[in-house]
Amino acid sequence: MFVGTVLRNCYKIVRLLGSGGFGDTYLAENLDLPGHPLCVVKHLKPKDPNPVVLQVARRLFESEAQVLYRLGHENNQIPRLFAHFEEKGEFYLVQEYVEGNDLSSEVTVGKRWSEQEVTQLLREILEVLTVVHKHNIIHRDIKPQNLMRRREDSKIILIDFGAVKEISTLVNIQGQTSASVVIGSAGYMPSEQASGYPKPSSDVYAVGMLAIFALTGIQPHELPRDPTNGEVIWRNWANVSEKLADILTKMVRYRFSERYPSAAEALEALPAPPKPKPQPTPQLKSQPASQSTLQPTPILRRQVIQTLGLIGTGVGLG
């Protein structure tokens, strides 16, 4: 698609944001709104022109759009879906544009985060992921590039839910779909996901590997593994308490049955965030009482005596 192309007389393509095996993502302007705010357009073009494939793709596209719509309106840390439409056998999603930087600029090779920083990052990611898993959705591609730090409030935004990838599920000539398309990134993808059978705990694995990357400064795919059981070896490179180390170890177990089953359980295992210390209430210093309030002045005493004397005289005359 060329820069300057206008879709539906509304969305003007500004530039290409990314391209993959399943589709392209563009930055666009919404010409219908004042100021032409930016948005993201995801474009899918099925490679197989078979009508059966197109029919299944259309059904999956509609289903995925409904999921994205619900998620984006339930949680403001998931980009909202503005529109979805089909033109000439090609499918488009229009989503909210998140201004900020992804975590690949924060979680970098050689840089080690503190345990407190990593715990806070885990909490932020798992809170958003809990909403996703509640809808029985598996993200399948959690990594630093798909986690944005929103500029306006520094909150973590979970992007790229793989709508285009989901639609591209393998379809045979009878219109039957395979179990799943293998989606994920090296180091963040557990064994069951690599076999095409992802589960919510597969996302938990990816979040755990990201946290280990932040603690050690070593990319997940470069960490060694125990040849006897496939477990990741990482503790020697991290300065971390036993409690958090045990949580992360459970998150990245080789067998999915030994992990936390979903983000909610992993979030619950984290230590509670420290409560903010109450601010001391400022107290007003008591002012020393003035002499006039402690004892009557000599002038005031004389006035009282004179008044009493006049009263006594009057009584006597009466």
SS (H, E, C) the chain: CCCCCEECCCEEEEEEEEECCCCEEEEEEECCCCCCCEEEEEEECCCCCCHHHHHHHHHHHHHHHHHHHHHHHHCCCCCCEEEEEEECCEEEEEEECCCEEEHHHCCCCCCCCCHHHHHHHHHHHHHHHHHHHHCCCCCCCCCHHHEEEECCCCCEEECCCCHHHHHCCCECCCCCECCCCCCCCCCCCCHHHHCCCCCHHHHHHHHHHHHHHHHHCCCHHHCCECCCCCCECCHHHCCCCHHHHHHHHHHCCCCHHHCCCCHHHHHHHCCCCCCCCCCCCCCCCCCCCCHHHHCCCHHHHHHHHHHHHHHHHHHHHC
Least-confidence region, from 63-67, 78-82, 245-249, 293-297 = 293-297
What is residue 168's predicted lDDT score, i.e. its pLDDT? 43
Q: Output the pLDDT for position 296.
A: 47
Tell me which of 102, 141, 160, 203 is the catalytic residue.
141
Q: Please give the pLDDT value at position 103.
A: 96
* 162-185: average pLDDT: 51
Residue-level pLDDT at 284: 56
Highest mean pLDDT: which range of 2-6, 130-134, 251-255, 305-309 = 251-255
What pLDDT sits at residue 272? 83
Q: What is the pLDDT of residues 138-154, one digit of tens each?
A: 998 899 999 999 999 99
Q: Does the annotation mark 141 as catalytic?
A: yes
What is the model's pLDDT at position 309? 53
Answer CATH for 6-269 from 1.10.510.10, 1.10.1040.10, 3.10.580.10, 3.40.50.2300: 1.10.510.10
Q: Look at residue 20 in the predicted model and tell me its pLDDT.
A: 66
